[in-house]
């Protein structure tokens, strides 16, 4: 009898490591496939020196929360500076959905799980995830020579056999640190938004307050992505430049549509685009960001160039109202409208904060001849930063309004999450 618990524990541990391995493989396979397709559409297949696998590894590292440093070197002739801070959220989302699904699958259809069991599943997953990311980080390094054509820098470089170069490499310690936060955050969100995953007994009482609003907010974000995919496919099929459009969809679609959500409910972003160096983006967005020159842009800034931008407000209003109704329908019948307002307001504010932190962009590269002046063709900047308090505050307000109205509208509907009062136990 003394051997039974040990055997059971050993079997449970083996299953946990097996499930963790499946989860890690699924997550990295999804990220690699999406990133490879997006880079191919963006033309990265033509990079010299067999750089495609290294660039692919760098994109996967960034998508999984890692850090990639960009460096420039022009020898004694010129000074070079570079910085890249952007998250390819299409790749991140693919990995998150695949890993989250595989993590939750063995836990579904159970009400309660002990903290020890959850920890026994989380630890192997985190260890294997960091090991896989460390392997990708070792591959994510490359250096390119830059052709400057007939410029004075090019002529002097040929004379002195010194040409400018730019390269990238993953910062392994920072990558592992931020990736740890990324994977732990993903597992926490997966447990919060899943209505079937078990919780420790002490946390079950928070199910009503957290999970319906969290799952409805997750559905809202995914609906925006689905709408973006449909729009992207239609644009690629009808407007030309299909490869560029598909590159945006496969690499940075959530970066666009989730920013569109914040613009729809009144949020604002500080923006700047200068020079020839840029990121793939729709022409209207490029024009508005170039005109902003560091000033905040909102939906009115886009509407000044294209009146159809006001549809962002209408779409946000309709989908937020639907989110409020969905959260109320998934909640027990005894939850009051003001409680729905509180729950959804908090959920949407936190989701908006996450979007603001994840969708921000800062990319800059410059090359100066002998430290005197910039080579215009080889320099540029893309900046997109949220006006944080305005955007998150309006997310809280809209979430509260949608939660209250949704709670009122859901009263006549069938509540699938209805919880009846337990019958009195007979006296023994």
Residue 257 scores a pLDDT above 60: yes
Range of lowest pLDDT (200-204, 218-222, 223-227, 349-353): 200-204
Say which residue, 177 or 424, is predicted with more confidence.
177
Mean pLDDT for 150-166 is 51
Could you tell me which residue, 62 or 364, shows the higher pLDDT? 62
Bridge partner residues of 384 (DSSP): 271, 361
Handedness of CA 189, 193, 195, 196 (dihedral sign): negative
Tokens representing residue 200 in the block: 């420790």
Per-residue model confidence as pLDDT tens digits over 62-103: 999 888 887 766 554 455 556 677 889 999 999 999 999 999
More confident residue, 118 or 111: 118
pLDDT of 72: 62
**pLDDT band at residue 422, thresholds of 50, 70 and 90?**
very low
Q: Look over the chain and give the mean of its residue pLDDT values, rounded to a whole number.
A: 81
User: Looking up tokens 């699938």, which residue turns up?
Assistant: 416
Would you state the pLDDT for residue 424? 43
- pLDDT top residue among 279 and 196: 196
Among the ranges given (1-10, 209-218, 398-407), the one the predictor scored with the smallest mean pLDDT: 1-10
The model's pLDDT over 3-25, given as tens digits with 9 standing for 90+, comes to: 444 434 445 588 889 999 999 99
* Residue 81 tokens, joined: 């500076």
Q: pTM of this prediction?
A: 0.85
Q: For the residues 101-115, what does the mean pLDDT come to?
A: 79
The answer to whether residue 35 scores a pLDDT higher than 90 is yes
Q: Looking at residue 370, what is its pLDDT?
A: 45
Residue 294 has pLDDT above 90, yes or no: no
- Quick one: pLDDT at residue 366? 59
Rounded mean pLDDT of 340-351?
A: 94
Do residues 231 and 315 touch, judged by C-beta distance below 8 A? no
Percentage of residues in the chain having pLDDT higher than 90: 42
Confidence of residue 112 (pLDDT cuts 50, 70, 90): confident
């Amino acid at each position: 009898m003394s051997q039974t618990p040990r055997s059971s524990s050993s079997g449970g541990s083996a299953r946990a490591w097996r499930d963790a391995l499946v989860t890690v493989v699924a997550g990295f396979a999804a990220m690699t496939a999406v990133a490879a397709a997006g880079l191919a559409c963006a033309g990265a297949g033509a990079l010299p020196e067999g750089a495609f696998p290294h660039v692919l590894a760098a994109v996967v590292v960034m998508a999984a929360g890692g850090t990639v440093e960009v460096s420039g070197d022009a020898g004694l002739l010129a000074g070079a500076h570079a910085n890249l801070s952007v998250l390819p959220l299409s790749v991140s989302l693919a990995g998150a959905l695949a890993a989250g699904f595989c993590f939750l699958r063995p836990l579904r259809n159970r009400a309660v799980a002990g903290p020890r069991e959850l920890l026994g599943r989380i630890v192997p997953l985190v260890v294997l995830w960091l090991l896989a990311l460390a392997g990708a980080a070792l591959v994510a390094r490359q250096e390119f020579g830059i052709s400057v054509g007939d410029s004075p820098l090019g002529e002097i470089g040929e004379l002195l056999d010194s040409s400018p170069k730019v390269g990238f490499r993953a910062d392994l310690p920072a990558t592992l640190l931020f990736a740890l936060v990324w994977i732990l955050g993903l597992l926490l969100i997966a447990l919060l938004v899943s209505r079937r995953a078990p919780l420790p007994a002490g946390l079950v009482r928070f199910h009503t307050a957290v999970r319906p609003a969290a799952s409805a907010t997750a559905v809202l974000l995914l609906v925006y992505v689905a709408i973006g995919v449909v729009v992207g496919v239609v644009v690629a099929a009808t407007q030309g430049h299909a490869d560029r459009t598909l590159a945006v969809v496969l690499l940075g679609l959530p970066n666009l549509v989730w920013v569109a959500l914040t613009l729809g409910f009144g949020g604002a972003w500080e923006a700047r685009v200068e020079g020839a160096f840029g990121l793939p983006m729709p022409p209207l967005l490029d024009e508005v960001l170039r005109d902003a020159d560091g000033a905040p842009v909102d939906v009115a800034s886009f509407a000044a160039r294209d009146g159809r931008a006001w549809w962002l407000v209408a779409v946000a209003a309709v989908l937020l109202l639907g989110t409020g109704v969905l959260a109320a329908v998934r909640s027990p019948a005894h939850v009051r409208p003001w409680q729905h307002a509180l729950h959804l307001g908090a959920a949407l504010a936190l989701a908006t904060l996450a979007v603001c932190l994840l969708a921000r962009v800062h990319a800059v590269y410059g090359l100066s001849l002998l430290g005197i002046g910039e080579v215009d063709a080889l320099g540029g900047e893309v900046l997109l930063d949220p006006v944080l308090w305005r955007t998150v505050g309006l997310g809280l307000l809209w979430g509260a309004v949608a939660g209250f109205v949704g709670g009122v509208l859901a009263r006549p509907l069938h509540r699938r999450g209805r919880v009846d009062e337990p019958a009195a136990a007979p006296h023994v």
